[in-house]
Structure 1
Amino acid sequence: MDTHTGNATTPDGTRLAYRDHHAPEPGPESDPDSPRPPLLLLHGLAGHMGEWDDVLPLLLADGHRVITYDARGHGASTRRPPDMTRASAVRDVTTLIGELSLPTPVTLLGQSLGGHTALLTAAAHPHLVDSLILVEAGPAGPSPDLPTEIAAWLDSWPTPFTSFSSAAAFLGHEAWARGLEEREDGHHPRWDRDTMLAAVADLSTRAYWPEWNRVACPTLVVRGEKGTMREAEMTEMARKTQMRTGRQPRTLTEVIEDAGHDVHLDQPRRLHAAVRTFLAARNAT
């Protein structure tokens, strides 16, 4: 695997840390005359790009170029950016596409808040997005209690964690613990609490069905069997797509067994299988 690490700077001065991964050689199903769109992976709230480490080699083995990045306010990106609106997150995606000179359109794969960003990007910039994969993410809302719920969740973290193992045990996955910063007194989050709350503020006030209705590309919606996304939301997304197109639904749905909200961490191979099948069908059209 050939990986280039760098930083992109957005119009408002926010630094975005990214990793650009290239497979060492084309995957077994790759067609040199029909190159596959690059994959841009978007993590969720309070997460980091390393969350995709279990899925990444599987996508690379399929012959994809894969870009991961820390969202603004997260990981190695600017900790306290001046803007945390949903619109700023969409501008970050377009900044990365331009900074890396990615051949467009690209495929966006996002989980939770990252999936919401991917959805909004596909709605606002349809010429940039070939296909969309949403993991535990959709347009439903408003969610007025969300900031309070997120604040309670963040405040429950017993930081600093005394060890990596204690952090992994509390957070549920080693991938979450790998996103922490180790200091002399223990392991600390690499995000600011108020910044995280600002990131979900827009979601508390409105739903995003109008944006969903503008998504024109083929979409796969993935829900964890034990996740937080409601089945009714996923069903409504597919229904609205069918009404909009008047053809076969361009939105496919998949439920991953034995997975919670973090489908990519709970069942990375099952998620990859769903993604691979979806993209293979897309590339065959």
Structure 2
Amino acid sequence: MQHRTTYLTVGDGTRIFYRDRPSPSTSPRPGPPVLLLHGLAGHLGEWDDLAGRLEASGHRVVSYDARGHGESTRRPASVSRAAHVEDAVTLLRELDLAPAIIVGQSLGGLTAMLLAADHPGLVHSLVLVEAGPAGRSPELPGEIAGWLDSWPLPFASLAEATAFLGHEAWARGLEERADGLRPRFDRDTLVRTMTELSAEGYWPQWSRIRCPTLLVRGASGTMKPAEAAEMLARRPDTRTAVVPGAAHDVHLDRPEPLHREIEKFLAERADEPNEPTSRRAGESLSR
């Protein structure tokens, strides 16, 4: 299947780099389109494994580099949550994807959540991977800066980058320069991206989401169980899943069980459209 990889310019002039995987023409029942949103310091290529599985399941799948990341504009005028949401809205409308399944991991999950809260007509269902509405600490930007400063740049090889970053998919997001491999993002831009999150919490937005929602955590992920419990308390119709053998990057650690959980979640909604939400709540365990 031929994939289209190109740019879309959004309202403030930021160029968004995206990949469009059409649903297979042989699929008897094409599913809703899927929009994939990566986390901080990530890139669209880290979704390749999951995107391929979703495409094979009959979905059109679009992934993109968030502003300030990858091949998108490296130093955009704004890195606010509102700007990130507007990028996703523009893609959904310009590519005629809505209503779409929105899948977001970590920071991309927060963008997905705010999108579902503010633009319900564009969202078929929501999948949050290690992402929630809790506010962060004021120390967060400094912690991110320290983490980025710890990278032993430049990396001499893909193997060296993979060993440090933990996944080859992350390493493949680097760019090759004369002195070695370096990130395709600006360090200060990423720190600015986290500033808004250092003080804000998004519980009101979470509470007003009405689309079917799946919350996925890695068994050894960084999302606090208390946050997940509060999310379920406020929206008891939320389905949750914990993926064994996965940390924060569930989509990289265990893409197959993540795909299985997503397809099971979608199938349950299709099979039981009138089922009371209280009976659809609960937690499942991938094996």
SS state of the match for residue 116, structure 1? helix
2:269 is the counterpart of 1:275: no
Amino acid at match of 2:264: T
Gaps of 5+ in 2: 274-287
CA RMSD after TM alignment: 1.1
Cα distance in 2 between the residues matched to 1:199 and 1:273: 32
Amino acid at match of 1:268: P
Q: Give the Å deviation of 1:276.
A: 0.9
Q: Give the Å deviation of 1:238.
A: 1.2
Where does residue 261 of structure 1 map in the other structure? Answer: 248
Amino acid at match of 1:166: E
Asked if 2 retains the 8 angstrom alpha-carbon contact of 1:143 and 1:206, the reply is: no
SS state of the match for residue 79, structure 2? coil
1:174-253 → structure 2 map (5 Å cutoff): 174-242=168-236, 249=237, 251-253=238-240
TM-score normalized by structure 2?
A: 0.92
1:65 to 55, 60, 77: 60
Cα distance in 1 between the residues matched to 2:208 and 2:2: 36
2:80 to 82, 85, 88: 85
Asked if 2 retains the 8 angstrom alpha-carbon contact of 1:222 and 1:253, the reply is: yes
Q: Give the Å deviation of 1:118.
A: 0.1
Q: Give the Å deviation of 1:44.
A: 0.3
2:16 is the counterpart of 1:16: yes
Q: Give the Å deviation of 1:2.
A: 2.5
1:36-185 → structure 2 map (5 Å cutoff): 36-102=31-97, 104-185=98-179
Where does residue 246 of structure 1 map in the other structure? Answer: none
My pick for the range that moved more, 2-11 or 82-91, is 2-11
Q: Give the Å deviation of 1:264.
A: 0.4
Where does residue 25 of structure 1 map in the other structure? Answer: 25
Identity of matched residues, %: 58
Cα distance in 2 between the residues matched to 1:77 and 1:166: 25
Asked if 2 retains the 8 angstrom alpha-carbon contact of 1:36 and 1:283, the reply is: no
